Amino acid sequence: MTSHNRALQRPRVLLMCLDTRSPTAPRFLNAFAEGGADVFSLARPKALAHAEVPAANRAFLRSSSQLFLIRRDLIAAHARVAPDWIVPCNENGVVALGRIIPTLTRTPAALALRDTLAHTLGRLDDWDRRVTKPAILALARQLGLATPRTIPLTSPAQAQAACQELGGSCVIKCASGTAGQATLVARSPQDAAKAYRALKPRPLVRLAEALLGIGWRAWSHEIEAQELIEGAPVMSCAVARDGRQVHVLTAEALKPPMSTGAALAARYCDLPAVAEATAKLIAGMEASGFLSFDFMLKSDGVPVVLECNARPTKMMTPAALGRDLSQALFAPQHWSGPHPLGGDVVTFHPGLAAQA
């Protein structure tokens, strides 16, 4: 019997964190505990993820970059903890799970882990490819949702031509990155060529990554030009079970003008069109667990899908707003339902929010 069939016990949640300095990991763990779960951490020994977890509930990674060691330590932690849910804390964790899932085919311990991941993430076949940014945009188009035009690039000259084709301005970005770090706004074809050169790694960098065994990580070397959409940046964070949206938070992202980085704060408000688009994407992905989506809301009220993060983000944590996503997922029998959102602002980076 798998652990998630033990209905009378508090759900057990294992947070997998490959970033030793992640400030959101303790926040997630506190939210999970307040949501009615017993929390466990899987991270490097000195990681912040362990700070809010009792010593007996900590499991350790020998490496955050060597995939074969991550796989071994995840299987061992799963066997010891027997979690109902495994939640990746950051983008590298999502990518690592995507690489590990196809290998879980032989031993009973590996198959048990796969069973828990299916409960946690939803449909697993080709999961690592289906949650990439290009795949999400392709799915959105199939569902009739608005998306930006994208053009794959392999040279500075192509970047210039693509920028011209997209109207003279565009976004140059890696197909996979984190928190906008691999995204640059180009206001001219010349800027697009410069942005391409800035993002394209040198051959020696790629060789070093291959030799060190870290080429699998979230940072992608595939670069694309994307249409620059005018509008207001908005986002959603949802919890789902088997392709059904259980609950969703929607918010306006507060950030400096033209910033491509992470939001400094969020103004939580009900955005029905964004919530509806989120539900369609979750159904199309046949997803479970936590999912976060970024959109650009055009002046006519149409949300344009930009990307998906198959994990929780910091916007899921304000339980004080009365919309506790953790409880909605882990302990729905105790969840009192959503409260209306009325424009409450929550700051993620207090020292920087004044810039937004």
Residue 23 located in a structural domain: yes
**Which one is predicted more confidently, 325 or 248?**
248
Mean pLDDT computed over 214-239: 82
Mean pLDDT computed over 293-297: 94
Query: Residue 291 forms beta bridges with which residues?
Result: 238
Indicate the SS3 state at residue 122: strand
Q: Is the dihedral of CA 255, 27, 278, 35 positive or negative?
A: negative
Asked whether 18 and 90 are in contact (CB, 8 A), the reply is yes
- Residues 32, 110 within the same domain: yes
Boundary residue ending a domain (210, 227, 244): 227
Segment among 107-121, 143-157, 262-276, 308-322 with least mean pLDDT: 308-322
Q: Is the pLDDT of residue 2 over 50?
A: no
Residue 131 located in a structural domain: no
Nearest-CA neighbor of 184 among 218, 151, 223, 137? 223
Nearest-CA neighbor of 172 among 195, 202, 200? 195
- Residues 171, 250 within the same domain: no
Asked whether 303 and 231 are in contact (CB, 8 A), the reply is no
CATH of the domain at 84: 3.40.50.20
Q: Considering its fold, how many domains does the chain have in total?
A: 3
Q: Is the pLDDT of residue 351 over 50?
A: no
Which residues span the domain enclosing 163? 149-227
pLDDT for 115-124, tens place per residue?
Answer: 999 999 999 9
The chain-wide mean pLDDT, for the chain, equals 84
Instruction: Give the 3-state DSSP-derived string for 255-305, with helices as H, strands as E and coil as C.
Output: CCCCCCCCCCEEEEECCHHHHHHHHHHHHHHCECEEEEEEEEECCCCCEEE
Segment among 39-43, 121-125, 128-132 with least mean pLDDT: 128-132
Nearest-CA neighbor of 225 among 130, 155, 281, 143? 155
Residue 259: pLDDT band (50, 70, 90) is low
What DSSP character marks residue 232? E
- Residues 223, 236 within the same domain: no
- Residues 315, 331 within the same domain: yes
| Terminal Cα-to-Cα distance of the chain (whole angstroms) | 50
pLDDT for 90-103, tens place per residue?
Answer: 888 998 999 999 99
**Which one is predicted more confidently, 123 or 222?**
123
Residue 60 located in a structural domain: yes
Nearest-CA neighbor of 239 among 143, 338, 146? 338
Boundary residue ending a domain (227, 256, 287): 227
CA dihedral 243, 244, 245, 246 (to 10 degrees): -130
- Residues 338, 250 within the same domain: yes
**What's the CA gap between 225 and 202, in Å, rounded?**
19
- Residues 279, 293 within the same domain: yes
- Residues 17, 34 within the same domain: yes
CATH of the domain at 183: 3.30.1490.20
Residue 106 located in a structural domain: yes
- Residues 194, 174 within the same domain: yes
Side-chain-side CA neighbours of residue 340 (13 Å):
1
The per-residue pLDDT for 196 is 92
Residue 81 located in a structural domain: yes
**What's the CA gap between 129 and 160, in Å, rounded?**
28
pLDDT for 156-192, tens place per residue?
Answer: 999 999 999 999 999 998 876 555 567 889 999 999 9
Residue 352: pLDDT band (50, 70, 90) is very low
Q: pTM of the predicted model, to two decimals?
A: 0.86
Helix, strand, coil tally for the chain in percent (to 5): 40, 25, 35
Q: Is the pLDDT of residue 82 over 50?
A: yes
Tell me the one-letter amino acid at 146: A
Residue 344 located in a structural domain: yes
Residue 140 located in a structural domain: no
* Helix 133-142 × helix 272-285 angle, to 10°: 110
CATH of the domain at 274: 3.30.470.20
- Residues 269, 208 within the same domain: no
- Residues 209, 240 within the same domain: no
56: which residues sit within 8 A by CB, 6+ positions away? none
**What's the CA gap between 164 and 190, in Å, rounded?**
10
Residue 345: pLDDT band (50, 70, 90) is confident
- Residues 86, 10 within the same domain: yes
Residue 136 located in a structural domain: no
**What's the CA gap between 151 and 159, in Å, rounded?**
9
**Which one is predicted more confidently, 3 or 314?**
314
- Residues 297, 193 within the same domain: no
